[in-house]
């Protein structure tokens, strides 16, 4: 079987990632979180989902992988630094920033499975 062109593979990966992010948001809403930002991008970095439950803010990285271990290892230390930098910027723009606590989570989305939410992953 012939390989697909690189641009088609990239589009499929983007589509798979977008579907995983929507599935993760659905799981978060069922857990009682309120989605306050989706694909929050800054020059410092990007956060897939920012969700809030009371005074707790969860900055969530979503990974579409076949298993949980590969999803966790896919969030490199560099990616973690970028997420933290973007979250600091987001938090500085919130009027109630002094009373908020922040947490960094990973949601692993596997085919035909409910998304797995790793709380305080990094």
Q: What is the pLDDT of residues 77-119, one digit of tens each?
A: 999 999 999 999 999 999 999 999 999 999 999 999 999 999 9
What confidence tier does 3 reach under pLDDT thresholds 50, 70, 90?
confident
* Integer-rounded Cα radius of gyration of the chain: 15
Q: Mean pLDDT across the chain, nearest whole number?
A: 94
Task: Please name which of 51, 107, 115 lies closest in space to residue 75, comparing C-alpha atoms.
Answer: 107
pLDDT of residue 66: 92
CATH architecture of 6-118: 3-Layer(aba) Sandwich (3.40)
| pTM, 2 dp | 0.89
pLDDT of residue 1: 55
């Amino acid at each position: 079987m012939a390989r697909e062109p690189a641009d088609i593979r990239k589009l499929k990966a983007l589509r798979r990632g977008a579907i995983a992010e929507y599935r993760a948001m659905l799981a978060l809403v069922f857990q009682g979180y309120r989605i306050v930002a989706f694909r929050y991008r800054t020059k410092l970095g990007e956060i897939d989902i920012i969700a809030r439950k009371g005074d707790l803010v969860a900055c969530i990285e979503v990974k579409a992988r076949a298993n949980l271990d590969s999803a966790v290892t896919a969030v490199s230390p560099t990616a973690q630094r970028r997420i933290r930098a973007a979250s600091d910027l987001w938090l500085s723009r919130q009027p109630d920033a002094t009373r908020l606590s922040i947490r960094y989570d990973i949601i692993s989305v596997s085919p035909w499975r409910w998304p797995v939410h790793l709380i305080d992953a990094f």
